[in-house]
Amino acid sequence: MDIGEFGLIARLMGEAKARDGVVVAIGDDAAVVKVTPDCNVVFTCDCMVEDVHFLRTATGYNVGYKLMASNISDIAAMGGRPRYAVITLVTPADEEVAWLEDIYTGIKACAAQYGCQVVGGDTSRGPKVVLSVAMLGEVLPGREMLRSGAQPGDLVCVSGPLGASHAGLQVELGRIDASAACASEARLRHFRPVVPVDLAVTLGELGCRCANDISDGLASEAREIAVASRVGLELDSALLPIAPEALAIAHALGEKPGDYALYGGEEYALLFCVPALLSAEVCASYPAVQIIGRVTDDEGVFLLHQGERERLRAAYTHFD
Amino acid sequence: MDIGEFGLIARLMGEAKARDGVVVAIGDDAAVVKVTPDCNVVFTCDCMVEDVHFLRTATGYNVGYKLMASNISDIAAMGGRPRYAVITLVTPADEEVAWLEDIYTGIKACAAQYGCQVVGGDTSRGPKVVLSVAMLGEVLPGREMLRSGAQPGDLVCVSGPLGASHAGLQVELGRIDASAACASEARLRHFRPVVPVDLAVTLGELGCRCANDISDGLASEAREIAVASRVGLELDSALLPIAPEALAIAHALGEKPGDYALYGGEEYALLFCVPALLSAEVCASYPAVQIIGRVTDDEGVFLLHQGERERLRAAYTHFD
C-alpha cells in the first residue's frame, strides 16, 4: 500500500455524498451530523497502535491521556465541545492488566479535564495493543468551523506557541539528555498536550468559520485549509510563536526552532482564519493567540522569510 | 489476562457513575446520552480483529457487512434507530487495497440497508487488520430498552428463528460440505445477519422496556437480563423457534438443534421482555416474533424441558 492516509480513507470511502442530516462529511477534523433541528453533533474517531504511535516504554497513563487529547482536539477544531466517548481496546491475552488500567486512568483524567465522559467500549484480543476512541461533541448549528471556511483577507492565527511537542519527542527518542534544559517540560508537552477547547468554542460562537487542529504540523494543516478553501495562506516566519522548549532543544541539537514550529506534529494547538476585526477581539481575550499571516486569493501555502516569499513544502503523513 | 470481556471493561472503566447527561452508561448494549432535552443519542462501538473475529479467507465484503450489522444490532437493542458511523481501520502497510475496498463496500452496503451513513474514520498501520466501528443512533427520551427493564410477569420473546448463524459457522469451519442441504443459506445467515431494527424501534415506542440483542447466544443474553433486572427468565424448550438451517445442519452433524438456538452466537436477533397484553399486539404485527417463556421473581435463567425445570448454564465470552 503506497497511498497517504487521506488518500486511503478517500479511496475506501468512495463518493461520500453528504446526504440527509450530514452537515460535514469525511475530510475535515470531524464529521458534523444533525440530530435534532436545534442541535448538531460533532463525531470523530482516532486510534493509536503499539509500535506505531507509542512504544511499550511509554507509561500507560501518557498513552491514554494523549489519545483522548487528540480526539478532543478534533472536536474542538470544529467548534464543538467534547461530551462523550467510547473506547475500543485490542490487547494480547497476556498483557499486563496494570498497564491497561494505567491507560484508562490517563484516558479518564484527560476526559475529566475537558468535561468529557467515557460511556462505553469494546475489547478484543489481538497481537498488539490498539486503542481507538470515538467521541461526540456538541455544536450549535451554523457555528461549525471548517477547513473550507477561509476567505481572502482573513488573518491567520494560532492559539499559542508551537514546537514544544516535537521538542519533547526528541527527548523521548533519546536524542537529548533528559536532564537538559527544558527537557522535562518538553516531554510533558509531548505527552499531555493542552487543547484550547474554550478558545475554539468561543471562536465558533464569535463567527470564526475556519479552523484546523495542528496534529500533523502547521505547514500541513495550513495546506489543508488552503486546498479546502481554495485560497493562499501567507505565513510570516518572523511572527511564528516558538515555544521555549522548542528553542532550547533545537539549539542544543543544532537544529532550527522554526522547523519545529512549522513541521512538528501532535501540537494540538489551533490554526484558524478570521476577519481582522474579529482577530483583535480574540487576541484581547486570549493573550496567547498570535497572528501569523493572512489569507490571499492565490492558492497554496507561502512563507515570508527575510523578504522572500517561498512556497512551503507539505509535511509527513502516517503512510509516508 | 484471565478475566472475561465484561470483567475487563468493568475493571478498566472503574466506577462509571452516570453523571450529567448520561442516561445509560457502561454495561448495556450501548450507552444512551442526552444531547438536547428532546433527543437522546445511542452510542456504541464494536470491533473485529483478523484471526480473532475473521480469517483472511473471508471475503472483505462479508467482514465489513457483519461488523456493521453488529453495531446496528447494538443500537437497535436499545430501541434506537442507527444514523451515523465512523470507522477505524488498522492495516499492515502491504495489505491488498482491493480487499480493504471490499470491506468498505460491505460496510456501506449494510449501512445503506439500515439507513445509516458512514461519516468519517481514521486509519493506521499495524501488524494485523483491526476494524472498529462507532455508531450513533437516535431514540426518543423514555423509549430506551434496557437489560434492567424486565418485570416479573412479563413474557419473554425473540424476534425470530434462532441457530442459523451458528449453523453457518459450521459450514465456514469446514465441518460440513458446502453443498449440503441449507449450507449456503446458513453461511449467508452467518455473514449477513438480518437485524430487526423496525421491530426494535416499534417495541420501544409501544412501551417495551427490556431488550438485548443475541450476539453471544440466547442463554448468555437471557442471563444478562436476569442479572441486570434481578429476575428469573424461564424459557420453554418446546417454544424455542429453531431456524431450518440449524435443524438441517445440526442433524447432519449429529448435534442438538436446540443447542444451536440456545448457545449459538452472532444471531443479532432480539430478545425482549414485555407485558402479556403488549406481546399479543407485537405478535399480531410481527408474525416471526415468538413467545418463548416468562419472567419470574426468582433470579437466574431456567429451561423447562420435558417437565423438568433446570438452570441454564452461561455461555462463552471472547475471553474464555
pTM, whole model, 2 decimals? 0.88
Question: For residue A147, which of A218, A222, A72 has the smallest C-alpha distance?
Answer: A222
A21–B84 C-beta distance less than 8 A: yes
What is the least distance, in Å, from the CA of A268 to any CA of chain B?
Answer: 17
Q: Are residues A196 and A299 in the same domain?
A: yes
Q: Is residue B318 part of a domain?
A: no
Residue A5 pLDDT > 60, yes or no?
no
Q: Which of A123, A139, A155 is the last residue of a domain?
A: A139
Q: Are residues A121 and A160 in the same domain?
A: no
Give the CATH number for residue A245.
3.90.650.10
Q: Are residues A178 and A295 in the same domain?
A: yes
Residue B6 pLDDT > 60, yes or no?
no
Model pLDDT, residue B140: 87
What is the least distance, in Å, from the CA of A125 to any CA of chain B?
Answer: 7
d(CA B113, CA B110): 5
Q: Residue B27, by phi and psi: left (phi above 0), alpha (psi -120 to 50) or beta?
A: left
Chain B residue numbers touching A60 (CB-CB < 8 A): none
Chain B residue numbers touching A5 (CB-CB < 8 A): 123
Of B129 and B22, the structure prediction assigns the larger pLDDT to B129
Model confidence over B163-210: pLDDT tens digits?
999 999 999 899 998 888 889 999 999 999 999 999 999 999 999 999
Question: For residue B161, which of B250, B232, B227, B78 has the smallest C-alpha distance?
Answer: B250
Model pLDDT, residue A1: 38
Q: Are residues B185 and B155 in the same domain?
A: yes
d(CA A290, CA A243): 12
Q: Is residue B317 part of a domain?
A: no
Per the listing, cell 472475561 goes with B4
| Amino acid making up residue A14 | G
For residue B166, CA distances in Å to B46, B76, B175, B200, B213 come to 20, 21, 12, 22, 15
Q: Are residues A117 and A234 in the same domain?
A: no
Q: Are residues B281 and B230 in the same domain?
A: yes
Q: Which of A82, A104, A139 is the last residue of a domain?
A: A139
B126–A52 C-beta distance less than 8 A: yes
Give the domain extent around B252: 147-311
The closest CB to that of A90, out of B30, B101, B130, belongs to B130
Q: Is residue A317 part of a domain?
A: no
Q: Are residues A168 and A266 in the same domain?
A: yes
Q: Are residues A170 and A233 in the same domain?
A: yes
Residue B9 pLDDT > 80, yes or no?
no
Q: Are residues A113 and A192 in the same domain?
A: no
Burial classification of residue A72, based on how many CB atoms lie within 10 Å of its CB (0-12 exposed, 13-18 middle, 19 or more buried): buried
Q: Is residue A318 part of a domain?
A: no
Model pLDDT, residue A315: 58
CA B138 to chain CA centroid, nearest Å: 18
Model confidence over B58-97: pLDDT tens digits?
899 999 999 999 999 999 999 999 999 999 999 999 998 9
Interface confidence, given as ipTM, is: 0.85
Chain A residue numbers touching B130 (CB-CB < 8 A): 90, 126, 130
Is the distance from CB of B159 to CB of B261 less than 8 angstroms? Answer: no
Grid cell in block for residue B314: 452461561
Give the number of domains in chain B. 2
d(CA A154, CA B211): 53
Model pLDDT, residue B55: 84
Q: Which of B116, B139, B162 is the last residue of a domain?
A: B139
How many other C-beta atoms lie within 10 A of the C-beta of residue B320?
Answer: 7
Q: Are residues B84 and B170 in the same domain?
A: no
Q: Is residue A16 part of a domain?
A: yes
Q: What's the whole-number mean pLDDT along residues B291-307?
A: 95
Q: Are residues A99 and A169 in the same domain?
A: no
Give the CATH number for residue A74.
3.30.1330.10
Q: Is residue A281 part of a domain?
A: yes
Q: Is residue B265 part of a domain?
A: yes
Grid cell in block for residue B87: 470507522
Q: If you measure CA to CA, which chain B residue comes closest to A92?
A: B1
Q: Are residues B88 and B163 in the same domain?
A: no
Q: pLDDT tier at A313 (50, 70, 90 boundaries)?
A: confident
Q: Is residue A319 part of a domain?
A: no
Chain B residue numbers touching A45 (CB-CB < 8 A): 86-88, 120-122, 132, 134
